[in-house]
Amino acid sequence: MAKRLEGQVAVVTGASRGLGRACALELGREGATVVVNYFTSPDPAKEVVAEIEAAGSKAIAVAGNVGVAAEAKALIDKTIETYGHIDILINNAGINRDKTLKRMSNEDWDDVITTDLSSAFYCTSAAVPHMTERNYGRIIVMSSIIGQMGNLGQSNYAAAKAGLIAFAKSAAKELARNNITVNAMCPGFVETDMVIALSDEVKAALLKNIPLGRFGKPEEVANFVRFLVTEGDWITGQQFNPNGGQYM
Ligand code: NDP
Protein backbone atom coordinates (compact mmCIF):
# COMPACT_ATOMS: atom_id res chain seq x y z
CA MET A 1 0.00 0.00 0.00
CA ALA A 2 1.37 3.45 -0.90
CA LYS A 3 2.43 5.48 2.11
CA ARG A 4 0.45 8.68 2.37
CA LEU A 5 3.35 11.12 2.71
CA GLU A 6 5.57 9.68 0.00
CA GLY A 7 7.13 12.54 -1.98
CA GLN A 8 6.63 15.04 0.84
CA VAL A 9 9.41 16.69 2.83
CA ALA A 10 8.91 17.40 6.53
CA VAL A 11 11.05 19.52 8.85
CA VAL A 12 10.66 18.77 12.55
CA THR A 13 12.45 21.13 14.93
CA GLY A 14 13.79 19.66 18.16
CA ALA A 15 13.42 16.14 16.80
CA SER A 16 16.26 14.47 18.70
CA ARG A 17 14.10 13.64 21.72
CA GLY A 18 10.55 13.54 23.10
CA LEU A 19 7.59 14.75 21.08
CA GLY A 20 9.68 15.95 18.14
CA ARG A 21 11.34 12.55 17.88
CA ALA A 22 7.95 10.79 17.94
CA CYS A 23 6.59 13.12 15.22
CA ALA A 24 9.67 12.63 13.02
CA LEU A 25 9.39 8.82 13.31
CA GLU A 26 5.66 8.85 12.62
CA LEU A 27 5.99 11.08 9.54
CA GLY A 28 8.87 8.91 8.32
CA ARG A 29 6.75 5.78 8.77
CA GLU A 30 4.11 7.41 6.52
CA GLY A 31 6.74 7.87 3.82
CA ALA A 32 7.82 11.48 4.36
CA THR A 33 11.43 12.51 3.91
CA VAL A 34 12.31 14.00 7.29
CA VAL A 35 14.74 16.74 8.28
CA VAL A 36 15.57 16.01 11.92
CA ASN A 37 16.64 19.26 13.58
CA TYR A 38 18.52 19.14 16.87
CA PHE A 39 20.44 21.57 19.04
CA THR A 40 22.64 19.83 21.62
CA SER A 41 21.96 16.10 21.06
CA PRO A 42 23.68 14.91 17.83
CA ASP A 43 23.75 11.21 18.70
CA PRO A 44 20.04 10.87 19.53
CA ALA A 45 19.28 12.83 16.33
CA LYS A 46 21.40 10.40 14.30
CA GLU A 47 19.49 7.50 15.89
CA VAL A 48 16.20 9.07 14.77
CA VAL A 49 17.59 9.35 11.23
CA ALA A 50 18.68 5.69 11.32
CA GLU A 51 15.22 4.58 12.51
CA ILE A 52 13.49 6.52 9.74
CA GLU A 53 15.85 5.05 7.14
CA ALA A 54 15.24 1.56 8.54
CA ALA A 55 11.51 2.15 7.98
CA GLY A 56 12.26 2.92 4.32
CA SER A 57 12.21 6.74 4.19
CA LYS A 58 14.93 9.33 3.74
CA ALA A 59 16.16 11.56 6.57
CA ILE A 60 19.00 13.87 7.55
CA ALA A 61 19.96 15.40 10.87
CA VAL A 62 20.60 19.14 10.82
CA ALA A 63 22.04 21.01 13.80
CA GLY A 64 20.75 24.47 14.62
CA ASN A 65 19.39 26.68 17.35
CA VAL A 66 16.00 27.63 15.93
CA GLY A 67 15.75 30.46 18.44
CA VAL A 68 18.30 32.30 16.30
CA ALA A 69 16.79 33.67 13.08
CA ALA A 70 19.85 32.97 10.92
CA GLU A 71 20.08 29.37 12.15
CA ALA A 72 16.37 28.77 11.55
CA LYS A 73 16.75 30.11 8.01
CA ALA A 74 19.83 27.94 7.49
CA LEU A 75 17.75 24.89 8.50
CA ILE A 76 15.12 25.65 5.87
CA ASP A 77 17.80 26.55 3.27
CA LYS A 78 19.53 23.22 3.91
CA THR A 79 16.20 21.44 3.41
CA ILE A 80 15.63 23.14 0.05
CA GLU A 81 19.23 22.60 -1.04
CA THR A 82 19.02 18.87 -0.19
CA TYR A 83 15.48 17.95 -1.19
CA GLY A 84 14.19 20.86 -3.33
CA HIS A 85 11.00 21.60 -1.37
CA ILE A 86 9.32 21.67 2.04
CA ASP A 87 5.73 20.50 2.54
CA ILE A 88 5.42 20.03 6.29
CA LEU A 89 6.88 22.10 9.13
CA ILE A 90 6.50 20.99 12.73
CA ASN A 91 7.60 23.84 15.01
CA ASN A 92 8.24 21.66 18.03
CA ALA A 93 11.49 22.81 19.69
CA GLY A 94 10.92 24.09 23.20
CA ILE A 95 12.42 24.49 26.64
CA ASN A 96 11.16 25.52 30.04
CA ARG A 97 12.82 27.61 32.76
CA ASP A 98 10.23 27.37 35.52
CA LYS A 99 10.37 30.03 38.26
CA THR A 100 7.86 32.09 40.15
CA LEU A 101 7.65 35.70 38.98
CA LYS A 102 9.59 36.79 42.07
CA ARG A 103 12.56 34.66 41.04
CA MET A 104 12.36 34.75 37.25
CA SER A 105 15.27 36.58 35.62
CA ASN A 106 15.06 38.49 32.36
CA GLU A 107 17.21 35.74 30.90
CA ASP A 108 14.74 33.01 32.00
CA TRP A 109 12.01 35.00 30.28
CA ASP A 110 13.96 35.72 27.09
CA ASP A 111 15.31 32.18 26.68
CA VAL A 112 11.84 30.64 26.74
CA ILE A 113 10.18 33.28 24.56
CA THR A 114 12.99 32.99 22.01
CA THR A 115 13.20 29.20 21.89
CA ASP A 116 9.50 28.40 22.17
CA LEU A 117 7.84 31.31 20.34
CA SER A 118 10.24 33.31 18.16
CA SER A 119 11.60 30.06 16.69
CA ALA A 120 8.18 29.32 15.18
CA PHE A 121 8.14 32.71 13.49
CA TYR A 122 11.71 32.32 12.24
CA CYS A 123 11.15 28.84 10.78
CA THR A 124 7.69 29.57 9.41
CA SER A 125 8.69 32.80 7.70
CA ALA A 126 11.67 31.04 6.11
CA ALA A 127 9.51 28.12 4.93
CA VAL A 128 6.42 29.97 3.68
CA PRO A 129 7.90 31.37 0.43
CA HIS A 130 8.82 27.80 -0.60
CA MET A 131 5.38 26.46 0.35
CA THR A 132 3.63 29.33 -1.43
CA GLU A 133 5.59 28.56 -4.60
CA ARG A 134 4.01 25.07 -4.67
CA ASN A 135 0.64 26.17 -3.27
CA TYR A 136 0.84 23.62 -0.46
CA GLY A 137 1.93 23.53 3.16
CA ARG A 138 1.06 21.92 6.49
CA ILE A 139 2.41 23.81 9.50
CA ILE A 140 1.94 22.77 13.12
CA VAL A 141 3.13 24.59 16.22
CA MET A 142 3.68 22.64 19.44
CA SER A 143 1.86 24.77 21.97
CA SER A 144 0.75 23.32 25.33
CA ILE A 145 -2.13 23.01 27.75
CA ILE A 146 -0.18 25.60 29.75
CA GLY A 147 -0.81 28.14 26.99
CA GLN A 148 -4.54 27.59 27.58
CA MET A 149 -4.64 27.34 31.39
CA GLY A 150 -1.56 29.18 32.66
CA ASN A 151 0.42 27.64 35.52
CA LEU A 152 2.27 28.57 38.67
CA GLY A 153 5.94 29.15 37.95
CA GLN A 154 5.49 29.10 34.19
CA SER A 155 4.58 32.65 33.18
CA ASN A 156 7.33 32.68 30.54
CA TYR A 157 6.33 29.27 29.14
CA ALA A 158 2.58 30.03 29.30
CA ALA A 159 3.09 33.33 27.47
CA ALA A 160 5.15 31.64 24.76
CA LYS A 161 2.65 28.81 24.33
CA ALA A 162 -0.38 31.13 24.27
CA GLY A 163 1.54 33.23 21.75
CA LEU A 164 1.92 30.17 19.54
CA ILE A 165 -1.86 29.63 19.49
CA ALA A 166 -2.46 33.22 18.41
CA PHE A 167 0.38 32.97 15.90
CA ALA A 168 -1.18 29.84 14.38
CA LYS A 169 -4.59 31.50 14.04
CA SER A 170 -3.17 34.61 12.35
CA ALA A 171 -0.89 32.63 10.05
CA ALA A 172 -3.84 30.34 9.19
CA LYS A 173 -5.87 33.35 8.08
CA GLU A 174 -3.01 34.78 6.03
CA LEU A 175 -1.94 31.55 4.36
CA ALA A 176 -5.24 29.79 3.63
CA ARG A 177 -5.31 31.31 0.14
CA ASN A 178 -2.04 29.48 -0.57
CA ASN A 179 -3.45 26.12 0.59
CA ILE A 180 -1.22 26.27 3.66
CA THR A 181 -2.85 25.17 6.92
CA VAL A 182 -1.53 26.16 10.35
CA ASN A 183 -2.69 24.43 13.52
CA ALA A 184 -1.65 24.28 17.17
CA MET A 185 -1.16 21.10 19.16
CA CYS A 186 -1.81 21.74 22.85
CA PRO A 187 -0.76 18.56 24.64
CA GLY A 188 -1.20 18.01 28.34
CA PHE A 189 1.60 16.38 30.32
CA VAL A 190 3.40 13.78 28.21
CA GLU A 191 6.13 11.35 29.31
CA THR A 192 9.24 13.02 27.88
CA ASP A 193 12.46 14.27 29.51
CA MET A 194 10.67 17.58 30.21
CA VAL A 195 8.06 15.86 32.40
CA ILE A 196 10.25 13.01 33.71
CA ALA A 197 12.47 15.77 35.21
CA LEU A 198 9.65 16.93 37.53
CA SER A 199 9.78 15.86 41.20
CA ASP A 200 7.65 12.88 42.30
CA GLU A 201 5.61 15.26 44.42
CA VAL A 202 4.78 17.49 41.45
CA LYS A 203 4.00 14.47 39.26
CA ALA A 204 1.61 13.03 41.87
CA ALA A 205 -0.17 16.39 42.16
CA LEU A 206 -0.48 16.64 38.37
CA LEU A 207 -1.92 13.14 38.03
CA LYS A 208 -4.74 14.04 40.44
CA ASN A 209 -5.94 16.58 37.86
CA ILE A 210 -5.91 14.27 34.85
CA PRO A 211 -9.30 12.51 34.56
CA LEU A 212 -7.81 9.68 32.47
CA GLY A 213 -5.34 9.12 35.31
CA ARG A 214 -2.02 9.02 33.46
CA PHE A 215 0.45 11.11 31.50
CA GLY A 216 0.31 10.90 27.71
CA LYS A 217 2.77 9.06 25.50
CA PRO A 218 4.70 10.93 22.78
CA GLU A 219 3.14 8.64 20.15
CA GLU A 220 -0.34 9.82 21.18
CA VAL A 221 0.60 13.36 20.13
CA ALA A 222 2.49 12.20 17.03
CA ASN A 223 -0.55 10.24 15.82
CA PHE A 224 -2.60 13.42 15.88
CA VAL A 225 0.10 15.31 14.00
CA ARG A 226 0.10 12.54 11.37
CA PHE A 227 -3.68 12.84 11.07
CA LEU A 228 -3.46 16.60 10.57
CA VAL A 229 -0.89 16.32 7.78
CA THR A 230 -2.48 13.38 6.01
CA GLU A 231 -6.20 14.07 6.39
CA GLY A 232 -6.50 17.61 7.72
CA ASP A 233 -7.00 19.38 4.40
CA TRP A 234 -10.01 21.36 5.67
CA ILE A 235 -8.65 22.06 9.15
CA THR A 236 -6.79 25.29 9.90
CA GLY A 237 -6.35 27.75 12.77
CA GLN A 238 -7.42 25.15 15.34
CA GLN A 239 -6.16 23.94 18.71
CA PHE A 240 -5.99 20.20 19.44
CA ASN A 241 -5.93 18.97 22.98
CA PRO A 242 -4.57 15.49 23.68
CA ASN A 243 -4.45 16.00 27.44
CA GLY A 244 -6.20 13.13 29.25
CA GLY A 245 -9.11 15.45 29.98
CA GLN A 246 -7.08 17.83 32.15
CA TYR A 247 -8.45 20.87 30.32
CA MET A 248 -11.89 20.75 28.68
P1 NDP B 1 12.25 17.50 25.43
O2 NDP B 1 12.95 18.32 26.47
O3 NDP B 1 12.11 16.03 25.63
O4 NDP B 1 12.95 17.73 24.01
C5 NDP B 1 13.15 19.04 23.56
C6 NDP B 1 13.63 19.01 22.14
O7 NDP B 1 13.77 20.37 21.69
C8 NDP B 1 14.98 18.36 22.00
O9 NDP B 1 15.01 17.62 20.80
C10 NDP B 1 15.93 19.54 21.93
O11 NDP B 1 17.10 19.29 21.15
C12 NDP B 1 15.08 20.55 21.20
N13 NDP B 1 15.52 21.92 21.40
C14 NDP B 1 15.59 22.63 22.55
N15 NDP B 1 16.03 23.86 22.32
C16 NDP B 1 16.26 23.95 20.99
C17 NDP B 1 16.70 24.97 20.13
N18 NDP B 1 17.02 26.18 20.60
N19 NDP B 1 16.82 24.71 18.80
C20 NDP B 1 16.51 23.48 18.31
N21 NDP B 1 16.06 22.48 19.08
C22 NDP B 1 15.95 22.70 20.40
O23 NDP B 1 10.86 18.21 25.23
P24 NDP B 1 9.42 17.60 24.87
O25 NDP B 1 9.56 16.59 23.82
O26 NDP B 1 8.73 17.29 26.12
O27 NDP B 1 8.73 18.90 24.28
C28 NDP B 1 8.71 19.17 22.89
C29 NDP B 1 7.76 20.33 22.67
O30 NDP B 1 6.47 19.98 23.14
C31 NDP B 1 8.17 21.59 23.42
O32 NDP B 1 7.85 22.72 22.65
C33 NDP B 1 7.29 21.53 24.66
O34 NDP B 1 7.07 22.79 25.20
C35 NDP B 1 6.02 20.93 24.08
N36 NDP B 1 5.16 20.28 25.04
C37 NDP B 1 5.61 19.25 25.84
C38 NDP B 1 4.76 18.66 26.73
C39 NDP B 1 5.19 17.54 27.61
O40 NDP B 1 4.44 17.20 28.52
N41 NDP B 1 6.32 16.93 27.42
C42 NDP B 1 3.36 19.08 26.86
C43 NDP B 1 2.99 20.16 25.97
C44 NDP B 1 3.87 20.71 25.10
P45 NDP B 1 18.52 18.89 21.76
O46 NDP B 1 18.28 17.78 22.73
O47 NDP B 1 19.28 18.48 20.54
O48 NDP B 1 19.09 20.11 22.41
Structure confidence by residue, pLDDT tens digits, 122-134: 999 999 999 999 9
Res. 194 pLDDT band, cuts 50 70 90: confident
- Can you give the CATH number for the domain in which 186 is found? 3.40.50.720
171 assigned to some structural domain: yes
Task: Find the mean pLDDT for residues 204-217.
Answer: 96
161 assigned to some structural domain: yes
SS3 39: coil
Residue 19 in contact with ligand 1 by CB distance below 6 A: yes
As a whole number, the mean pLDDT across the chain is 97
pLDDT of amino acid 205: 93
Q: Give the catalytic positions in this structure.
A: 157
Q: What residues have CB less than 8 Å from 79, skipping those under 6 apart?
A: 9, 11, 35, 62, 86
Task: Find the mean pLDDT for residues 104-124.
Answer: 98
Number of domains in the chain: 1
80 assigned to some structural domain: yes
200 assigned to some structural domain: no
DSSP state of 33: E
Domain that holds residue 78: 9-190+217-239
From 38, 113, 151, 241, mutation site for ligand 1 pocket: most ligand atoms within 8 A of C-beta = 38
User: Does the pLDDT at position 1 exceed 80?
Assistant: no
Name 90's bridge partners.
12, 140
User: Does the pLDDT at position 72 exceed 80?
Assistant: yes
In single-letter form, the type of residue at position 4 comes to R
Residue 63 in contact with ligand 1 by CB distance below 6 A: no
Task: Find the mean pLDDT for residues 219-246.
Answer: 98
Give long-range contacts, CB 8 A cutoff, 24+ apart: 177-180: 178/128, 178/131, 178/132, 178/135, 178/137, 179/135, 179/136, 179/137, 180/128, 180/131, 180/132, 180/136, 180/137, 180/138, 180/139
Question: Could you report the per-residue pLDDT of 127-179, keeping only the tens digit for each?
Answer: 999 999 999 999 999 999 999 999 999 999 999 999 999 999 999 999 999 99
- CA of 65, closest atom in ligand 1: 19
